[in-house]
């Protein structure tokens, strides 16, 4: 197995050089995919970094909305998604038509859209957010404005509580994070007493309320690097354990529940990456009209000061 993987990885590296390509892997990808990637991280962060490079081809090991974000920010580059069937159930829970109908009924509302959404939904939004900056984005909206957040109800609930702003939201959710229950957290705490519990804001409110820290995946990495704790209970997709362990060799990480696995994030294999590079497909494109409007919503987010209040 290891020898076969080594051969595959060597072939992938050769193809990356031949294609003038960069390989991106989200934190939730398989370990072996993260191992060979040029960059690993959060979805939007990866797209932004790739846009700064001279690479002509971006290979995004993630799910469709992530590859779309790369295409939005790098219109002159070829963007490949090795598994075209790797989708995001939460992103699929709201459609362009759904949001258009809401906007028609609430013309004065500010629509805040989590980056875990389709390009078409972003294009109908006023401003985007990540799990790490969502609170600041909402705080930046002028007082008195109606705020509607899509598609994740759990992130929206957390943002409303922390920001103190009145909000409504779409009833979407991440099936993976939704599977983390309060009972599972209690069992994890009993098994690892004293270990801080860090969770993603896509988790249910009950779980978020039990956490020592509520963080994006990038926030979890920074928290664990800085913390003096030697053990952690992690409440997000288990793929992040690879990077946490790699960056903190003297510390131990325990997944809060074995249910925290996203089948879509685990679809991409090394064989898929090789084949995608060899064939330069499947390529992900975003129509220019949609791309420009979606980029405007992303640019509005990037213009928000980090200390917005």
Whether 169 maps to a domain, the answer reads: yes
Specify the pLDDT at position 3: 78
- CATH number, domain of 131, equals 3.40.50.10800
Residue reference for tokens 């229950």: 181
Whether 11 and 81 share a structural domain = yes
Whether 138 and 67 share a structural domain = no
Whether 161 and 295 share a structural domain = yes
Measured CA to CA, the distance from residue 89 to residue 265 in angstroms comes to 11
Whether 188 and 233 share a structural domain = yes
Whether 309 maps to a domain, the answer reads: no
Specify the pLDDT at position 145: 97
**Beta bridge mates, 233:** 197, 254
Whether 155 and 297 share a structural domain = yes
Domain tally for the chain?
3
Whether 164 and 296 share a structural domain = yes
Whether 308 maps to a domain, the answer reads: no
Whether 165 and 189 share a structural domain = no
Whether 151 and 295 share a structural domain = yes
Helix, strand and coil percent figures for the chain, each rounded to 5: 45, 15, 40
Specify the pLDDT at position 308: 47
Whether 307 maps to a domain, the answer reads: no
Specify the pLDDT at position 307: 57
Per-residue pLDDT of the chain (309 residues; tens, 9 = 90+): 677 888 999 999 999 999 999 999 999 999 999 999 999 999 999 999 999 999 999 999 999 999 999 999 999 999 999 999 999 999 999 999 999 999 999 999 999 999 999 999 999 999 999 999 999 999 999 999 999 999 999 999 999 999 999 999 999 999 999 999 999 999 999 999 999 999 999 999 999 999 999 999 999 999 999 999 999 999 999 999 999 999 999 999 999 999 999 999 999 999 999 999 999 999 999 999 999 999 999 999 999 987 544
Whether 164 and 187 share a structural domain = no
Spatial CA neighbour of 27 closest among 213, 233, 239, 192: 239
Quote the pTM value: 0.95
Whether 193 maps to a domain, the answer reads: yes
What does each C-alpha distance from 49 to 42, 46, 69, 192 come to in angstroms?
A: 11, 5, 12, 37
Whether 163 and 192 share a structural domain = no
Q: CB count, 10 Å around CB of 121?
A: 27
Q: What range defines the domain where residue 10 resides?
A: 2-85+265-285
Whether 65 and 16 share a structural domain = yes
Whether 227 maps to a domain, the answer reads: yes
Whether 246 and 276 share a structural domain = no
């Amino acid at each position: 197995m290891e020898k076969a993987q080594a051969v595959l990885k060597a072939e992938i590296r050769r193809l990356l050089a031949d294609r003038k390509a960069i390989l991106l892997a989200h934190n939730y990808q398989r370990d072996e995919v993260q191992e060979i990637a040029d960059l690993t991280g959060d979805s939007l962060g990866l797209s932004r970094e790739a846009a700064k490079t001279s690479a002509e081809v971006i290979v995004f090991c993630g799910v469709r909305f992530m590859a779309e974000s790369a295409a939005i920010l790098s219109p002159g580059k070829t963007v490949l998604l090795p598994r075209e069937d790797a989708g995001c159930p939460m992103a699929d829970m709201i459609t362009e038509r759904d949001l258009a109908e809401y906007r028609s009924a609430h013309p004065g509302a500010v629509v805040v859209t989590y980056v875990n959404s389709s390009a078409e939904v972003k294009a109908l939004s006023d401003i985007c957010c990540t799990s790490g900056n969502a609170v600041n984005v909402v705080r930046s909206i002028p007082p008195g404005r109606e705020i509607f957040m899509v598609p994740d109800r759990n992130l929206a609930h957390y943002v409303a509580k922390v920001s103190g702003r009145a909000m409504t939201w779409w009833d979407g959710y991440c099936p993976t994070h939704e599977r983390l229950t309060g009972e599972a957290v209690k069992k994890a705490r009993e098994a690892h007493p004293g270990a801080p519990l860090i969770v993603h804001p896509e988790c249910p409110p009950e779980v978020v309320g039990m956490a020592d820290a509520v963080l994006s995946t990038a926030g979890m990495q920074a928290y664990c690097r800085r913390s003096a704790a030697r053990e952690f209970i992690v409440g997000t997709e288990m793929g992040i354990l690879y990077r946490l362990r790699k960056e903190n060799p003297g510390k131990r990480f325990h997944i809060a529940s074995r249910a925290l696995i996203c089948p879509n994030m685990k679809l991409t294999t090394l064989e898929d990456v090789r084949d995608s590079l060899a064939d330069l497909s499947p390529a992900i494109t975003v129509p220019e009209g949609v791309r420009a409007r979606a980029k405007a919503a992303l640019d509005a987010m990037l213009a928000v000061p980090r200390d917005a209040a």
